[in-house]
Chains A and B, each alone.
Chain A
């Protein structure tokens, strides 16, 4: 079973891991909003924004090259758009004592914000067990039905991926060499079709198991998580930090 990559770092121990999920979610959300709100031509004020993700990642003992790899993997679309921006944002603006096309500034700004924002998101999700994250989201007001739905998705993600991989391997073993497009397409259709039918049946059985343990449609959960002084201090610190970082825009502009 190679499923541990998902929760690989979430089960470690660190001050960041110990923080209540709610505090981390609110902090990262606040940070992301403020980060994105930095005006697009300002690059210098972005520097202080590197502190939060770096701090969370380092204290949380998440390897930085893991983070960078993930950022790289999801970056193509943004990189592409950013790279073409300078063509159209041609107005010259001052930068570091010289004149540069505004588009280059925006491109740099977008890429820097992207990396930092992703870093913060990864810091959140790799220092929090998914079930804790869901519990935190629920206490923050996300509807219970949605939280339960996400819980099921996460729980059965690997069960179904395993099934799919097994069927894919069986297919690959049989479709060795050249097979016509039609045949390949029908194979995909058949596998996915079988997967779907099996999933629908499994969903029925799960529903039965739920009913056998008293489920009547009302989602009931135990309150979880403890929001103590550590969390309060953390949020205060983050609040002060993002405000200061954002205000630095006024200073440098």
Chain B
């Protein structure tokens, strides 16, 4: 769906370097653990599974209630469920490297960050949640398998996305307030994660029926007589996501007024700091921009003193912009469809 790969410019070389070292270290660990459980000679073949993920991302699922948009698999959680978290992370890392080099999704310097956010976190966290919900007792049925897969996807995707605001804040280039950025990323990725959960389970259900031995934790699974999960369970999971999302939005709206004061409080020691005043010259760039905003904005109080409304506007505006830029990107991609399949995305 949306290309949430980080670009170089959201980080500084130092932060990017630290994250890259961290990613490299964790990949080393993942590689060692993979060689223990899998014949070391087979490790390079993980690359073929990377190609599988790209191919799987071509199989789109048209979303209900949103004509013209479709979702597809990200892949991290599915890989963890089938290969285990260590091998899954290795495969995701190679996918992200190829996405950067061949499709320019994500910057060179941000590779370390992207591998952490979209490889290490979804695979390890997702797997942990999957095994936790699956439990330790025999006789796991379709409903619990669904819950495990769905929860793993949502939590894995959301936590991975949640790393981005922290990394950006540590770098300090873009100064969107941490809490707002975090809330927005989590909110959007709750939706993305829910779709990921549905699609991942569709695949897991197929494997459960045909080749249950390919799934981790298969020793706990009951024989697959029915892989249909009742509507109540699915609706319940979606409702849970919706509630969390709703909670986040209302929290942002009500708790936020303090946020702006907080960002200002960070800066008192800056010798060049000037408190925000009306620009000295009516004809200056800022003044003209402000005037335009007043006339063009849907929420005319945007430039005013009402900080609470400002932050809600910020939140709503962010979401609207994300949707608009996504649609523009899709339009552009349709035009290039004739020369190439759409660049694959690991969300």
A residues near B298, Cβ cutoff 8 Å? none
- CB <8 Å contact, B176 and A5: no
- CB <8 Å contact, A152 and B340: no
| B205: Cβ under 8 A from any A Cβ | yes
- CB <8 Å contact, A153 and B47: yes
- CB <8 Å contact, A79 and B47: no
Give A64-93 interface residues, CB cut-off 8 Å to B: 69-74, 76-85, 87-93
A residues near B8, Cβ cutoff 8 Å? 32, 36, 113-114, 117
Given A99-B280, A193-B207, A197-B210: A36 and B16 interface contact (C-beta under 8 Å): yes
Given A36-B11, A189-B202, A203-B48: A150 and B339 interface contact (C-beta under 8 Å): no
A residues near B69, Cβ cutoff 8 Å? none
- How far is it, in angstroms, between the C-alpha of A212 and the C-alpha of B284 when the chains are bound? 74
Interface residues on chain A, size class: 35 or more
- CB <8 Å contact, A72 and B332: yes
| B248: Cβ under 8 A from any A Cβ | no
| A42: Cβ under 8 A from any B Cβ | no
Interface-forming stretch among A55-63, A161-169, A236-244?
A161-169
Interface-forming stretch among B56-64, B130-138, B151-159, B217-225?
B56-64
- CB <8 Å contact, B48 and A152: yes
Given A99-B280, A117-B8: A81 and B176 interface contact (C-beta under 8 Å): yes
- CB <8 Å contact, B107 and A117: yes
A residues near B211, Cβ cutoff 8 Å? 197
Q: Mark A91-132, 1 if CB is under 8 A from B, else 0.
A: 111000011110110100110011001100110010000100
Q: Which of B9, B176, B199, B284 contacts A36 (CB 8 A)?
A: B9
**Minimum CB–CB distance for A174 against chain B, Å:** 14
B residues near A76, Cβ cutoff 8 Å? 2-3, 322, 325-326, 328-329
- CB <8 Å contact, B108 and A121: yes
| B5: Cβ under 8 A from any A Cβ | yes
| A145: Cβ under 8 A from any B Cβ | yes
Given A78-B7, A92-B279: A32 and B108 interface contact (C-beta under 8 Å): yes
Count chain B residues whose beta carbon lies closer than 8 angstroms to a beta carbon of A. Answer: 104
| B292: Cβ under 8 A from any A Cβ | no
A residues near B73, Cβ cutoff 8 Å? 188, 192
- How far is it, in angstroms, between the C-alpha of A69 and the C-alpha of B93 when the chains are bound? 26
Q: Mark A1-31, 1 if CB is under 8 A from B, else 0.
A: 0100110000000000000000000001100
- CB <8 Å contact, A150 and B263: no
- How far is it, in angstroms, between the C-alpha of A165 and the C-alpha of B31 when the chains are bound? 32
Closest residue to B260 on the A side, CB-wise? Answer: A88
A residues near B274, Cβ cutoff 8 Å? 91-92
- CB <8 Å contact, A74 and B176: no
Q: Which of A40, A74, A154, A195 contacts B105 (CB 8 A)?
A: A74
Q: Which of B45, B52, B104, B108 contacts A74 (CB 8 A)?
A: B104
Chain A positions near chain B (C-beta within 8 angstroms): 2, 5-6, 28-29, 32-33, 36-37, 40, 69-74, 76-85, 87-93, 98-101, 103-104, 106, 109-110, 113-114, 117-118, 121-122, 125, 130, 133, 145-146, 148-157, 159-161, 163-165, 167-168, 171, 181, 184-186, 188-197, 199-200, 202-203, 206-207, 215-217, 219
5 contacts across the A-B interface (CB closer than 8 A): A32-B108, A36-B12, A77-B3, A98-B285, A192-B59
Q: Which 3 A-B pairs have the closest CB atoms?
A: A189-B202, A152-B47, A193-B206
